Amino acid sequence: MATIERRSPVAFPVRAVRSTKIGHWTVVQQYTNEGEGPWLIDLSHHPRWDLQDADIRRCKPFPVNVPVDPGTCTLDRGLLVNRMNRTQCSIWHLLGDTPQPPADPVCTETTDATALMALAGGKVFAITEKLTNLDLTDPGPKPPFLLQGPFCHVACQLVIAQRRDLDGTLLLACSRGYGQDMAHAILQAGEEFDLRPAGEDQWRNLLKQIQNERSERF
């Protein structure tokens, strides 16, 4: 009998060591030979929403604040809220659980609209500069911040979550249909830096780091 499964648009050409079930998703915790980084991590199973309203600052579908300026982000209790323009935010749930979807009609669930990946570790921005002419190392904005623009020719949302010189963590969301080719292009560009696919465990560690770093700063 056909099983009910949710599938990511991204499949890595490596063997999984350990996986868990989250809802109908099979999430790989760890792949073989993940190496020391940089890593490419598929986060497509993390729930995401689109929030739009003429007066967006008044919206509170989640108990977190909407960032004030377009291009800025807030990361609070595992929810990353990215201000896209005057009336719109994307919201990415980055923890491992499944939160209750908001009932507010200003929210649209968009988990399946995009592929979401994290590119993290050493020399991450040496990899990205091979794929985009967007300036991800601009010292101006402080992470986390959002850039919307072409990455490997495809319109993407890029969140620079943390950054130290060429090292750091980048979250990338592109149209789901492009997910497979995008992952392939990134892996190919990262070959010279020993970029390898990694699982959710690695992501947990990274998220902890990012959150600690942020609490230190504030």
Partner 1 sequence: MKRLAGLPTLRVNSARAVSIEYDGKRFHGVEGDTVATLLYANGTRIFSRSLKYHRPRGLYSLDGQSSNTYVDVDDIPNVCAENTFVGNGMRVEPQNVLGTPEHDWMAFMDKLSWAMPAGFYYTIFHKPARLWPIAVRHIRKTAGLGSLSPDVELRGRFDQIYPAADVCIIGAGPAGMSAALAAAAQKLRVILLESRPWLGGYFDYRTRNHKPGMPLYLRGRQLADQLEQAPNIRIFKHTAVIGCYSNNLITAFQRGSEADCFAERYVQIRAESVVVATGCIERPLLFENNDRPGIMQIGCAHRLARTWGVLAGEQAVFSIGHDLGIEAAIDLHDLGLSIACVADVREDGCDPALPPQLEARNIPFYPGWVAAKAHGRKVLKKVTLTNLSGVCKQQFDCDTLVASAGLTPVTGPLALAGARLEYDAHTGYFLPTGIPQKMHAAGRMLGLEDPTAIELSGRLAGLRAVADCGMAVGATISGVEEELAKLPGPARGSKFVVAPVEGKKTFVCFDEDVTIQNIDQAMRLGFDVTELIKRFTSAGTGPGQGGIAGHNLPLYVALTHRSPDLHPRPTTVRPPLVPTLLATYAGTNHPMSKRTPVHASQVAAGGVMERLQPWQRARRFCADTTARAEIENVRTNVGMLDASTLGKFRIFGPDALKALQRVYVSDMARVSTGRMYYSAMCNEDGCVIDDGVATQIAENDYYFTTSTGRAGETSEWIRYHTRYDRWDFHIINLTDAYGVINLAGPNARKVLEKVVDGAVSNEAFPFLGFREFMVHGAIPVRAMRLGFVGELSFELHVPSSYMQSLWDILEEAGEEFAIWNFGLEAQNTLRLEKGHVILGSESEQRTTLHDIGLGFFWHRDKLEAQTVGAVALKQTENDTSRLKLVGFKMEEPAARAPRDGSPIVAERIRGYVCTARYSYALKEPVGMALVEGYLAKNATRLTIFEDDCKGELMKAKVVPMPFYDPTGKRMRM
Partner 2 sequence: MALTITCPICGKRSGYEFRFGGEDKGPPPQAAGLTPAAWCDYVHRNNCVAGVQKEWWCHRQGCGTWFSIYRDTTKNLEVAGPQSEDV
Residue pair 65/76 in contact by the 8 Å Cβ criterion: yes
Residue 107, H or E segment: strand 107-109
Q: CA distances (Å), 80 to each of 94, 131, 175, 201, 205, in order?
A: 7, 24, 18, 19, 16
Alpha-carbon distance 155 to 82, whole Å? Answer: 16
- List contacts with partner 1 (CB under 8 A): 1-9, 24-25, 44-45, 50, 52-54, 87-88, 105-106, 108-114, 129-133, 135-139, 152-154, 175-182, 184-185, 188-189, 191-192
**Region binding partner 2 by CB under 8 A among candidate stretches 2-10, 51-59, 147-155, 189-197:** 147-155
Name which of partner 2, partner 1, none residue 54 binds, using a CB cut-off of 5 to 8 Å depending on partner kind.
Answer: partner 1
Name which of partner 2, partner 1, none residue 70 binds, using a CB cut-off of 5 to 8 Å depending on partner kind.
Answer: partner 2
If DSSP codes are grouped into helix, strand and coil, which group holds residue 210?
Answer: helix
Q: How many CB atoms lie within 10 A of CB 53?
A: 17
Name which of partner 2, partner 1, none residue 3 binds, using a CB cut-off of 5 to 8 Å depending on partner kind.
Answer: partner 1
Of the chain, the end-to-end C-alpha distance in Å amounts to 52
- Of 124, 125, 118, 128, which is closest to residue 44 (Cα–Cα)? 118
Token readout for 10 is 């991204």
Does residue 70 interact with partner 2 by CB under 8 A? yes
- Our CB check for partner 2 shows the closer of 29 and 52 to be 52
Site string for partner 2, 158-197 (x = CB under 8 A): ----------------------------------------
Does residue 72 interact with partner 2 by CB under 8 A? no
Site residues (vs partner 2, CB under 8 A)? 70-71, 84-86, 133, 147-150, 155
